[in-house]
Amino acid sequence: MTQYIYCMTNNKPKIWLPKIDKTKRGVYHAIVDAMRHDIEAGVLKAGDQLPPQRELAWQLQVNLTTISRAYREAMRQHLIGGEVGRGTYILANSAEASLFELRDKGLAKGRTQTDFIDLSTNIPARNASDNRFNQTLRTITAANLTTLYEEYHAPMLLDQLKIAATKWLNWRKMPSKPENIVLAGGAQTALQAILIALCNAGDSILVEQYTFPGMKDFARQFGLKLIPINMDKQGILPNELTKIAKKNNAKYIILVPNHQNPTGAVMSAERQQQVAKTIVAQNLTLIEDDVYGGLSNMPPLSALLPDQAIYLTSLSKTVSFGLRVGFIHTKTEHLAALTHATNLTQWSLSPIMMQMAIDWIEDGTAFDKAAWQLSEISERRKIADNILPKNNISTRDKNSPHLWLNIPQSIDIQSECEKIGLNIAPVSIFLPQQRQKHQNHIRISLVAPATRQNLAIGLKRLAEILA
């Protein structure tokens, strides 16, 4: 049966006609499958606006929960993105969607979770013997503080989390005070709030030569122009920053100085000093994403720029992926704009996750888990160094959870990996500009496979392609 879904293109109604088979996989899966199909076919294009969830539920005569599940799954696969106050938009005609599709394709071809190996997803390694997440959840729920966890955030909980955030930032050698902290439901939510609060459509944003896919998604949603700055194995080059900043009327630069995503680059103390001086000289404001900072021996770059930096971090890359709690630290000038964006920041926080973050930072669990991550990454890097050809590994720092690999131009690496059941992140999804010149690279995650054994299997398959 053909169902009608209405979307908006250039502010004009457009009827989308997916065929939804309600007998297979469930309606929400069918909606996502139809969405992906029509994106690939060019029926839906980047920027097309989908209808509100309630309207779509009414049009399809299905439960609102079904539509919500479909939208959440489509967001997970980077098919769509949401912006508060403006709606939900198609994103997935871009290359970033390929990062989330290979697993489904492989399993659909008959591969099992055992022989399909994901080397693309940047999530913390899982410690099978660590049950503290479940234990803490039981402790929190056993307290039976329903007024604290089933209503809007209590001021006491918000204040406690800001104090805990200050402790985490100070551990990172980022001087902070609770009154300069803005809370958010993770680093991506924090960055989204910052961009909405401070930027306008058409603004130029300086970024690294290769940038993380979420930044590209936000640029499309908000109409921002990303300007790449050339890098070496320590991150951006100061002289390149000077040259690019003088040519563009940019106010903000977004950097990941510690375990840069995707290259794994870490700025040395000398490079940090050089970049900080250049940012001051060019009158830029740094927006620093330090989500991997807990795995680095280097302090944040923002510590050198107390008057020209907005710092954001979270616990999801270093402590626990499910702990979606993010922190923004900034000077008073930007606090008002960010605090007013509560729909994007603190309202998206789960009170139970807030309490878990408070407990873990206060009792030391968060720091212990970060230390375990470092130890596990070190062991997995040894495996990679023993299996992969040395000249293919570009990432120097041994604490990086991901590696940037040089790939011969003659190899269609994504196609070859798909054939043997490997999911990797190709260079195309990290290019800030569509026609940007680049070498052949891939990013692989050392911590994506559940075990070291699975990692070794995946790396051996990859090494055979590179041989």
Token pair, residue 280, equals 């001051």
Average confidence score pLDDT of the chain:
85
**Residue 100 forms part of a structural domain:** no
Query: 176 and 38 in one domain?
Result: no
End position of a domain, from candidates 93, 123, 145: 93
Q: What is the DSSP letter of 223?
A: T
* Whether residue 28 is found in the same domain as residue 160: no
Checking if the pLDDT of 436 tops 70, the result is yes
Query: Is 273 among the domain residues?
Result: yes
| 126 belongs to a structural domain | yes
Which uninterrupted H or E stretch holds 225? strand 225-229
Q: Output the six-digit token pair for 313.
A: 């971090």
Asked which of 33, 62, 93 is the last residue of a domain, the reply is 93
Asked whether residue 332 is assigned to any structural domain, the reply reads yes
With H, G, I as helix, E, B as strand and everything else as coil, classify residue 111.
coil
Q: Where are the beta strands (DSSP E) in 270-426?
A: 285-289, 309-314, 326-329, 402-406, 422-423, 425-426
Same domain, 270 and 399: yes
Q: Which CATH number do you get for residue 48?
A: 1.10.10.10
Domain identity same for 214 and 77: no
Note whether residue 337 is domain-resident.
yes
In a domain, 342, yes or no: yes
End residue of a domain, out of 63, 93, 123: 93
Total length of the chain: 467
Q: What is the CATH number of the domain that holds 139?
A: 3.40.640.10
Same-domain check for residues 218 and 328: yes
pLDDT category of residue 32 using cuts at 50, 70 and 90: confident
Burial 186-219 (b: 16+ CB within 10 A, else e): bbbbbbbbbbbbbbeeebbbbbbbbbbbbbbbbb
Domain housing 39: 5-93
Sheet-wide strand order for 402-406: 402-406, 441-445, 425-426
Instruction: State yes or no: pLDDT of 430 exceeds 50.
Output: yes
Say whether both 275 and 405 belong to one domain: yes
Half-sphere exposure of 284 (CA within 13 A, CB side): 27
> Does 390 share its domain with 335?
yes
Higher pLDDT, 51 or 100: 51
Q: Are residues 241 and 294 in the same domain?
A: yes
pTM: 0.79
Asked, for residue 109, whether it belongs to a domain, the answer is no
Summarize pLDDT for 376-414 with one digit per residue, the tens. 999 999 999 999 999 999 999 999 999 999 999 999 998
pLDDT band of 4, cuts 50, 70, 90 = very low
Q: Which residue has the tokens 């997970």?
A: 76
Q: Are strands 204-208 and 225-229 parallel, antiparallel or unpaired?
A: parallel
- Tell me: do 311 and 176 sit in the same domain: yes
Do 83 and 218 reside in the same domain of the chain? no
Overall domain count for the chain: 2
CB atoms within 10 A of CB 414: 21
pLDDT tens digits, 310-326? 999 999 999 998 888 99
| Backbone phi and psi for residue 253, each to the nearest 5 degrees, phi listed first | -130, 130
Residue, of 66 and 316, whose pLDDT is higher: 316
Residues 162 and 77 both lie in one domain? no
Q: How many CB atoms lie within 10 A of CB 112?
A: 9
Same domain, 84 and 154: no
Q: What is the pLDDT of residues 106-128, one digit of tens each?
A: 444 555 555 789 999 888 999 98
pLDDT band with cut points at 50, 70 and 90 for residue 3:
very low
Residue 11 token pair: 């502010």
Query: Of the candidates 165, 110, 178, 132, which has an alpha carbon nearest to the alpha carbon of residue 357?
Result: 165
98 inside domain: no
Residue 33 has a pLDDT of 82
Q: In this predicted structure, what is the pLDDT of residue 2? A: 39
pLDDT at 151 over 70: no
- Which is more confident, 308 or 36? 308
Residue 466, pLDDT score: 93
